[in-house]
Amino acid sequence: MRGTLTVKGAALLIWALLLFAPFLFQDVRQIEVAARIAIFIVLVASYDLLIGYTGIVSFAHTMFFGMGAYGVAIALKQMGPGWTPVLLGSAAGVAVALVLAVGIGLLSLRVKAIFFAMITLAAASVVLVLATQFSQFTGGDDGMTYRTPDLFKPATKLLVDAEGKVLSIAGVKMNGKIAAYYFVFVISAVLFWAMLRITGSPLGTVLKAIRENEARAEGIGYRVVAYRTAVFCIAAGTAALAGATYAVWLKYTGPQTALSFSIMIDILLMVVIGGMGTMWGAVIGATLMVLAQYYLRDLMEVAAGATANIPLLPELLNPERWLLWLGVIFILLVYFFPSGIAGTIIQKGDKA
Amino acid sequence: MSLLSIQNLSVSIGQYAVLHDVSLKVPQGGVFVLLGRNGAGKTTTLRAIMGLWQPSPGSIRFDGEDITSLHTSDIAKRGIAYVPENMGIFGGLTVAENMVLATANGTYDPQRLDWVYGLLPALKTFWDKPAGALSGGQKQMLSVARAIIEPRKLILVDEPTKGLAPSIIDAMAEGFREISAETTILLVEQNFAFARSLGRDMGVIEDGQIVHTGTMEAFAADAALQDRLLSLSAEGAA
C-alpha cells in the first residue's frame, strides 16, 4: 500500500496547491498555469478512462474538448455575456459531443482497436476543418474572443472593505479574476472526483475486466460494446465540460487552444508520463507536463546564462531548443518509469 | 420438465461444422455430465448455450423460454453461469474485483459469501491479492466461486479438474456436491472418476453428435459401453 499512498499523497498535495494557488502564486502567468493544470487534469483523467481503464485508443478527445469550448464561445459571442449562454453553450457542446460519441461508439467500437483509432482520427480532422471553414460562426483560424459573465470581470468586487474598496485577503484582491479561477478549480475538482467515483465503482471493475480480456468479460455476461460506448460517452461529455470551462477562463476559443492535434499529443504524453489506469497519475502527468511547457524555457535560459563561458553547452541549452529537452526528459521518464510515474511508484511501493 | 432443452443444435465455426443436430435434455437438479473425447464438441455445446456461438440451425430452451438468439449478457441474467475451461478469471484484477464482476449489482450477500468461503477457503486468504498470483487450483476455485456468489439456476462447468492435483480434485468434488443441492450443474469432463462421483444423469458426445444418454449409474456399470464410447474402461475401473 506504500506506493499507492505516496501517489495519492502527491496528487492530493497538487490539488491542495491548486486550491490555494491564487494566494501562493500571485503572478498572472502562474495563475494561468494553475488553471491550465486543473483543466488538463480533467482532460487527461477522462482520457485515462478510455485508454487506461478500458483499453480504447481514441484520437478524438481534443475534438470533444473543442465542442464544449466552441459551444460556450459561440453562445457567448452570439448572445453576449451572461450565465444563460454559458449554460446553453455548455449543454449544446456536451450534447453534440455525446451524440457524436454514441454514433462513433456504436458504429465502430466493434471493430479492431487500430481501425477505431483511425476513425476517431478522421472524425477529429473533419471537425477541425469544419471549425476553420465555418468562420462566420467559429471565427475560422483566428478563433473568437468574447466577454464572459460580469462576475468574472477583473473590476468586479467580490468582497468589499469598510470603505467600499475591493477587499484583500493575504494580499490577494477578491475580484472577478479570483472568481474565474475558483470557477475553473471547483468544476475541475468535481469532475475529477466524479471520475474517481466511477473507477472505484463496479462499473470501473467492469471496464478493467474489458481491458484485460474482452471475450472473458462477454462470457460472464457483460455487453462489451455497450460498456465501451458508455465509457466513450462519459469521457466525451467530461472532455466537453472541461472545454466549456476553459473557454470561460480564456475568453478566447480558437483551433489552437481547443481543437489542435498538438493538444491531443499533450494529453497522450500526460497520460503516459502520469501512468495509465491510475487516475491519480493524471494529476501528476498533467502537472509536470504543463509546468515543463511553461517553465522549461525559463529554466534553460538560466542554465544557458550560467554556462555562458563553457563551449557548446550554452548552444545546447538555448531556450529555443526546449522541445528537444522536453523530448529527452520524456525518454528518460519512460525509461525509468515504464508504467508512468504513478504506475511505477504504485507497483514498486506495493511490492516492497 | 427439463430445465435446459437443446433441440437439433448445429454449430459451425468458420467452415468447420462442429456440432451436428445435437439434442439434449438437462433435468432440474443434480449434476448432468457431458462426456466425450478431446475435440468432440463439449466446449462448443456449452459456449452455444451461453450464446457465444450462434446455432445454425437449432434451438435452446431454458426454464421454459427460448434463449437461442439472446445475447450472452441476457442469458447470464436468466440465471446461467459459465465456468470456462481456461478458468476465465481476470489476472490483473484482485480476487475481490473478480467476485464483484460476477454479481448483478456489485454487492454480495454476506451470508452467501461466508458460504462460498466455507466451500473455497483459499479465497478469503487471497481476497485483496491479484488473481493472476493464485495457483492453478485457486484460480479454478475463484472461477467456481464467481459462478455461485449469487444463486443461479444452472451452472455450466467446463473441465474443472484439468491440470489439478488429486487432493484439490477431491475438495472440488465435495464443493460441487454441495452446490448441486441448490443448483443444477451441467458438467463437461474427461476425468471419468470425477464425473462418475458427481453425475446423476449423463450424455456422451462424439464428433459433434450425442451418441448416448442415460443415468450415470447404468453407464458406470457398463464397461463395454464405456470402452466403446470413451475407451475409458481401464480408467473407469480404477
Neighbour tally for B13: CB within 10 Å = 11
CA distance B97 to A150: 49
Q: Is B91 on the interface with A (CB under 8 A)?
A: yes
Listed as ranges, residues in chain A with pLDDT below 50 are none
Q: Is A276 on the interface with B (CB under 8 A)?
A: no
User: What CATH number should be reported for the domain whose range is A2-351?
Assistant: 1.10.3470
Do B106 and A222 lie within an 8 Å CB cutoff? no
Which residues from B are below 8 Å from A217, CB to CB? Answer: 101
Do A221 and B105 lie within an 8 Å CB cutoff? no
Q: What is the pTM of this model?
A: 0.85
Q: E-strand spans in chain B?
A: 2-13, 16-27, 31-35, 59-62, 65-66, 80-83, 154-158, 184-189, 201-206, 209-215
Q: Is A206 on the interface with B (CB under 8 A)?
A: yes
Contact A96, A106 (CB under 8 A): no
For residue B46, give the 3-state DSSP assignment: helix
C-alpha distance from residue B120 to each of B94, B134, B176, B177 (Å):
16, 13, 11, 13
Predicted ipTM?
Answer: 0.78
Identify which of B88, B91, B97 has the shortest CB distance to residue A220: B88
In the structure grid, which three cell numbers stand for residue A156, read together?
Answer: 468586479
Contact B198, B31 (CB under 8 A): yes
Nearest CA in chain A to B91: A212
Q: Tell me the count of A-B CB pairs closer than 8 A.
A: 56
Identify which of A209, A212, A223 has the shortest CB distance to residue B71: A223
Strands B184-189 and B154-158: parallel
Listed as ranges, residues in chain B with pLDDT below 70 are 87, 232-238
Identify which of A216, A221, A223 has the shortest CB distance to residue B90: A216
> Could you check whether the bond before residue B57 is cis, i.e. omega within 30 degrees of 0?
yes
Q: What is the pLDDT of residue A43?
A: 97
Which residues from B are below 8 Å from A219, CB to CB? Answer: 50, 52, 72, 82, 84, 88
**Which domains does chain B carry?**
2-79+154-237 (3.40.50.300), 90-151 (no CATH)
With b for 16 or more beta-carbon neighbours within 10 A and e for fewer, the B181-206 pattern comes to eebbbbbbbbbbbbbbbbbbbbbbbb
Which residues from A are below 8 Å from B75, CB to CB? Answer: 221
Q: Is B102 on the interface with A (CB under 8 A)?
A: yes
Can you name the residues that pair with A157 across neighbouring β-strands?
A175
Instruction: Transcribe B150-195 into DSSP letters.
Output: S--SEEEEE-TTTT--HHHHHHHHHHHHHHHTTSEEEEEES-HHHH
Q: What is the pLDDT of residue B238?
A: 39
Do A212 and B102 lie within an 8 Å CB cutoff? no
